[in-house]
Amino acid sequence: MLELILIDDLLFALVGIEGRYISIKRVHGKADVVSFQVDASMDLALQEFAKRIFPLCESYLLIDEFVESRSQFKHGLVNHAFAAALRAFLLDYQAMVAQLEHQFRLRRLSIQGLWFYCQPMTGSMQALSTVIRKVSANNYAGSAVLNLLQSQAKAMAGDSAVRSLLEKMTHSASNAYLSILERWIYEGVIDDPYDEFFIAENKSLQKESLTQDYDAKYWRQRYSLKKDIPSFLANIAGTILTTGKYLNVMRECGYNVQVPVSENSKLMTFGSNHQYLECVKAAYEFASGELLSLIKEKYDLIGKLRSIKHYLLLDQGDFLVHFMDIAREELLKKHDEISVEKLQSLLDLALRTTAAAADPCHEDLTCCVERSSVLKGLSRLKDLDIKNVSHGNDLEEPISITGLETFSLSYKIQWPLSIVISRKALTKYQLIFRFLFHCKHVERQLCGAWQMHQGVRALNSHGTAISRSSLLCRSMLRFINSLLHYLTFEVLEPNWHVLHGRLQTAKSIDEVIQHHDFFLDKCLKECLLLLPELIKKVEKLKSLCLQYAAATQWLISLSIDIPKLDEQSDGSVGSGKLKSKNPSQVQKVMTRNSAVTDSILKFEREFNAELQSLRPILSSSSQAEPYLTHLAQWILGAGNDQ
């Protein structure tokens, strides 16, 4: 009689209901801790049988309560799908209990028979309750739930039935997750109301920041990977992220591009056949190809880069010569006294009246005046790999800087080209332009000095200060011309040729960005802008050239007025006039001649000393930086020809 009563109680306990001899005990404050207890007055043998079945009862109660709590959408779509799968599983379990109850009513069920029929379900129920306890304790959602289910399934390799059940639960729970993934890789849309997806969107980052902020993080951080990534997607998470990003760019451009979807490309499940991997790969290839085609063909990326090369890398410099002529007066002012509006109007005039007018992109060119020299500007760009600099103060600021040191060109870049030509990339172009522009200025000043020397060639100046000055001027011109030749033909042109080839074969926009950034960094480095020790030497040499060019008119005018001392012995009329001069006049002439010669010799000594001091620096650095060998051949050759 007691056995029948206990069996009846156990059938109720299997669906979480107390009986006459079986009670449920809960621990206060711990919802997932529950235990069944049998009355101590019951026969010991029957108590032991009951205790064998209690774990199954406890698992059912735990699973049932989890299903009720996690069926709410606030716990996320994955938990909701997992709870739905558990509810379906419990229906099968309850059907088994109903069959056992039917056998009991027919008096065909003993307590040993009850244990026999319950045994197969015990392992599965306990495995599920283990998962549920961990999910509840850690408040898991989304990827974390899927990873837990998958890891538990792998841990049950020895029990095929339990493993199969857990894999089925994983597939059911992942359906909701895969639907979010499907919209992302096929439409570029994050439809994630409960923040479960492994890709996060930072809506505060706007695409406009790419053209305004040097440290713009839009492309890298507008969409980013979270820490919790489903293990079955871990190896392709980067590809998934990139696919949606590409589709997003096209949507931002007004193109409603959607990856072609067939029945075979539906991401409704994952498994050993890896069909979902093929779907992701196909979506990535489509999105990448469409965006690359859009940017290269419709927005003419290579044409825009070529136009920037014409102006900011001085590939076509006829407009610049004209501009420097008409803007000379304004550029000689201090940087805080310059009218940018006036410079812009002069730049527009230079562009309209030269070959640049044929370039449809010339209207995108603007000018600006920076607040510091190139060297100081470089020290503020912390992401550049500037060698051997610990503080920005190591790079000296000129005492008085004018527009010639601070003038720069800029370029209007529209979305989506700003992904490639960002504010950071444009800043690097501007640094190279400012260095080239100042070199061109030095060259123009020396050419002016050289023309003055040529103007007095008719005088018999052999052996005088003028001839010595002429040699120095030629040496300085060779230096600056050699430097400009190195920068343009040894650095910029070869690197541009490499970039152009790589852009033609690039497979994705990320490859384009990578190649473009590499091109700019390599040009900055080979133009010496990332080597402070060398660039400071070059700036010193340029400064000496400018000082000499400024003093040339004074030196030549003094030299022309100085009669040659050997004419004192000449029998001409002029010599008679000179002989009539008193000794004090002769002394004055000799003093002036000495002053001019001393000035020229001083410039010569300083210039040669600075030029020769480059030799050990270039020699020691050329082993690590082979391109410096070309620089040494060009620049030091100017010093050896003297």
pLDDT tens digits along 443-496: 999 998 888 877 776 665 555 677 788 888 888 899 899 889 889 988 999 999
Please state, in angstroms and rounded to a whole number, the distance separating the CA atoms of residues 301 and 509: 11
Cβ neighbours for 562, distance < 8 A, ≥ 6 positions apart: 464, 465, 589, 592, 593, 596
* Average of per-residue pLDDT values in the chain: 82
DSSP state of 162: H
Is the pLDDT score of 590 beyond 70?
no
Mean pLDDT for 46-68 is 89
For the chain, the domains span: 1-137, 173-298, 302-384+401-560+584-636
Cβ neighbours for 357, distance < 8 A, ≥ 6 positions apart: 351
Which phi and psi angles does 175 have, rounded to 5°?
Answer: -60, -45
Q: Cα angle at 45 between 40 and 50, to 5 degrees? A: 70
- Percent of the chain having pLDDT more than 70? 84
Is the pLDDT score of 91 beyond 90?
yes
Predicted pLDDT at 395: 46
- 3-state helix, strand and coil shares in percent for the chain, rounded to the nearest 5: 70, 5, 25
Cβ–Cβ < 8 Å for 57, 100: no
Please state, in angstroms and rounded to a whole number, the distance separating the CA atoms of residues 263 and 217: 37
Which among 320, 317, 239, 331 is positioned nearest to 282, based on CA atoms? 239
Mean pLDDT for 82-96 is 93
Q: Which of 111-120, 249-258, 586-595 has the lowest mean pLDDT?
A: 586-595
The whole-model pTM stands at 0.79
Q: Which of 236-245, 286-295, 535-544, 592-601 has the lowest mean pLDDT?
A: 592-601
Is the pLDDT score of 517 beyond 90?
yes
pLDDT tens for each residue of 153-198: 988 888 889 999 999 999 899 888 888 998 899 888 899 999 899 9
Please state, in angstroms and rounded to a whole number, the distance separating the CA atoms of residues 342 and 406: 15
Cis peptide before 416 (omega within 30 of 0): yes
b/e per residue, 22-33, with b = 16+ CB within 10 A?
bebeeeeeeebe
Considering 373-387, 551-565, 628-642, the range whose residues carry the highest mean pLDDT is 373-387
| Structure-block tokens of residue 539 | 């700036």
Cβ–Cβ < 8 Å for 439, 230: no
Is the pLDDT score of 317 beyond 60?
yes
Which phi and psi angles does 421 have, rounded to 5°?
Answer: -100, 75
Please state, in angstroms and rounded to a whole number, the distance separating the CA atoms of residues 153 and 162: 8
Task: Identify the H or E element spanning 565.
Answer: none
Mean pLDDT for 297-321 is 86
Neighbours of 465 (CB within 10 A): 23
| Structure-block tokens of residue 217 | 């993080």
The answer to whether the Cα torsion of 146, 152, 158, 162 is positive or negative is: negative
Please state, in angstroms and rounded to a whole number, the distance separating the CA atoms of residues 152 and 140: 15
- Cβ-based burial of 131 (10 A; exposed 0-12, middle 13-18, buried ≥19): buried
Please state, in angstroms and rounded to a whole number, the distance separating the CA atoms of residues 592 and 599: 11
More confident residue, 276 or 152: 152
Which phi and psi angles does 369 have, rounded to 5°?
Answer: -125, 115
3-state secondary structure (DSSP) of residue 119: helix
Cβ–Cβ < 8 Å for 19, 9: yes
How confident is residue 564, by pLDDT bands cut at 50, 70 and 90? Answer: very low
Residue 40: C-alpha distances to residues 18, 76, 271, 477 (Å): 15, 44, 50, 110
| Structure-block tokens of residue 357 | 């007018």
| Structure-block tokens of residue 247 | 């589709």
Is the pLDDT score of 414 beyond 80?
yes
Mean pLDDT for 42-63 is 88
What's 302-384+401-560+584-636's CATH class? Answer: mainly alpha
Cβ neighbours for 493, distance < 8 A, ≥ 6 positions apart: none
3-state secondary structure (DSSP) of residue 411: strand
Instruction: Work out whether strand 30-38 and strand 22-27 pair parallel, antiparallel, or are unpaired.
Output: antiparallel
Cβ–Cβ < 8 Å for 621, 531: yes
- Write the secondary structure of 142-159 as one string of H (helix), E (strand) and C (coil): CHHHHHHHHHHHHHCCCC
Is the pLDDT score of 568 beyond 90?
no
Cβ neighbours for 199, distance < 8 A, ≥ 6 positions apart: 184, 190, 223, 224, 225, 226, 240, 241, 244
Distance of CA 385 to the CA centre of its chain: 15
Cβ–Cβ < 8 Å for 372, 402: no
Distance of CA 350 to the CA centre of its chain: 35
Please state, in angstroms and rounded to a whole number, the distance separating the CA atoms of residues 233 and 277: 8
| Structure-block tokens of residue 15 | 């669906």
Mean pLDDT for 98-112 is 90
Scan for tokens 């990977």, then name that residue: 225
